[in-house]
Amino acid sequence: MGLVEVVTYLVLRKTFLRLSLYSKTIDWKSFILSNFFVLPIQNGVFLKLISLLSLVRGQNLAVLVIAQLLSSAFIFSPQASPRVTFLDVNLWLIVLATLLSVAAGYIINAFFDQEKDLINRPQKTLLEQNISERSKLIGYFTFNGVALLVASNVSHRSAIFFFTYILSMALYSGFLKRYLFIGNLVSAALTVLPFFAITVYYKNFTMEIFTLASYLLLLISIKELVKDLCNIRGDLSNNYKTIPTVYGEVKTKGLISLLVCFCFGVFLLLHFFYSLHGMLYYFISSLVFLVFFTILMWRFSKTNQLIFLLFGIKSLILLGIICLPLLKIPI
């Protein structure tokens, strides 16, 4: 061993010994948290990112992407294999346009609902105030502009569809949501509408797809009514005419119960006239869930209890999206 190797060995050995002694005294958990999480948040980098994800409801966008891809593969293009469907560039452009336009819709909705959301969801609203109103408006117009540009590269029909969706979302956020019944109907329709962007592309709209969409629309309508029950304080403070604020909690729950009954009717149509394959298990499970959901709804009255029910109905919708591949699995 030469002189250089000996010196290098001694220096490295001394360095590692110091590091080992240092590692025994330092709290590595605190070190990692402070350097990789706390400091970036203090500097505003992570805080802005988290605020943006909260503003555009990043978790909802992720679910929407999965829903569009799965519905494309297993509902709207049943003749093609999932692999061929997922390799279609135009499909990904439609998904991107949907992602941007829906994110813009969430931004403009939050922009008009700031006062109400401060009462109903104060922590979320305060977090989103880290993004200035000017930045929100710039993001809104930028997202919509890029969405229209992307959609126009697919087809003129797609561009017209997204223009209609963007205009409808703006009208709903600024005016329509304040009106009785109209607000609930438009909200449910706008939630389902992104799926029809896929229909416009594939030119494949059948009665089976309409019936499946009807079941989804009923679940979303139930979700919207439960959400209105949760938000009743904020809606009353801002003079929003929702079904709970005008007709009260009991009649709203009665309407939700009626929609649950309609879910049973739609299921019977699907079961007797179409082949559900493995998806049959989802529908049976969802109807059992809706029975218990309705029983609990009539017993619950506190906001935190209603929020629990809202989480349950959202989970049911998410599970339905995940189970879409079962439509191609015979039983």
Q: Is 85 inside any structural domain?
A: yes
Predicted confidence band of residue 162 (pLDDT cuts 50, 70, 90): very high
Q: What is the mean pLDDT of the chain?
A: 83
In Å, how far from its chain's centre is CA 328? Answer: 25
Question: Residue 19 domain-assigned?
Answer: no
Please choose, from the candidates 257, 259, 256, 229, the residue with its C-alpha nearest in 3D space to the C-alpha of residue 245. 229
CATH value at residue 99 = 1.10.357.140
pLDDT for the residue 26: 46
255 and 294 share a domain? yes
- 31 domain-assigned: no
Is the domain of 193 the same as that of 218? no
Q: Which two tokens stand for residue 194?
A: 């992104």
3-state secondary structure at position 29: helix
Residue 222 lies in a domain: yes
* Whether residue 223 sits in one domain with residue 162: no
**Does 6 fall in a domain?**
no
Task: Tell me the residue range of the domain where 272 lies.
Answer: 206-331
Please report the pLDDT score of residue 129 as a whole number.
Answer: 79
pLDDT for residue 29 is more than 70? no
Q: What is the pLDDT of residues 215-261, one digit of tens each?
A: 999 999 999 899 989 888 877 777 778 888 889 999 999 999 999 99
- Distance CA(79)–CA(203), nearest Å, equals 13
Provide the pLDDT for residue 135: 87
- pLDDT tier at 19 (50, 70, 90 boundaries)? very low
Closest CA to 199 of 76, 327, 54: 76
- Average pLDDT in the 166-177 region? 89
Using CA atoms, how far apart are residues 249 and 298, in angstroms rounded to an integer? 10
Rounded Cα–Cα distance for residues 190 and 169 (Å)? 7
Question: Is the per-residue pLDDT at 40 higher than 70?
Answer: no
| Among 69-83, 217-231, 250-264, 316-330, the least confident range | 69-83
Tokens matching residue 234: 């904020």
Same domain, 152 and 255: no
Give 101-142 pLDDT, tens digit per residue.
Answer: 999 999 998 888 787 777 777 777 777 778 888 888 999 999
Look at residue 280 in the predicted model and tell me its pLDDT.
93
Whole-number Å distance between alpha carbons of 232 and 91: 39
DSSP 150-169: HHHTT-HHHHHHHHHHHHHH
C-beta separation of 238 from 125 below 8 A: no
- What pLDDT is recorded for position 44? 65
pTM of the model: 0.78
Share of the chain above pLDDT 90, in %: 43
What pLDDT was estimated at residue 78? 61
Is residue 303 very low, low, confident or very high in pLDDT (cuts 50, 70, 90)? confident
The listed range with the strongest mean pLDDT (7-21, 49-63, 150-164) is 150-164
| Residues 169 and 106 sit within 8 Å (Cβ to Cβ) | no
Last residue of a domain, one of 173, 204, 235: 204
Determine the pLDDT at residue 6.
Answer: 44
**138 shares its domain with 269:** no
Q: How big is the chain, counted in residues?
A: 331
Domain count of the chain?
2
Indicate if 218 and 300 belong to the same structural domain. yes
Q: Residue 191: which pLDDT band, with cuts at 50, 70 and 90?
A: confident
Identity (one letter) of the amino acid at 38?
V
Q: Counting beta carbons within 10 angstroms of the beta carbon of residue 292, is it exposed (0 to 12), middle (13 to 18) or buried (19 or more)?
A: exposed
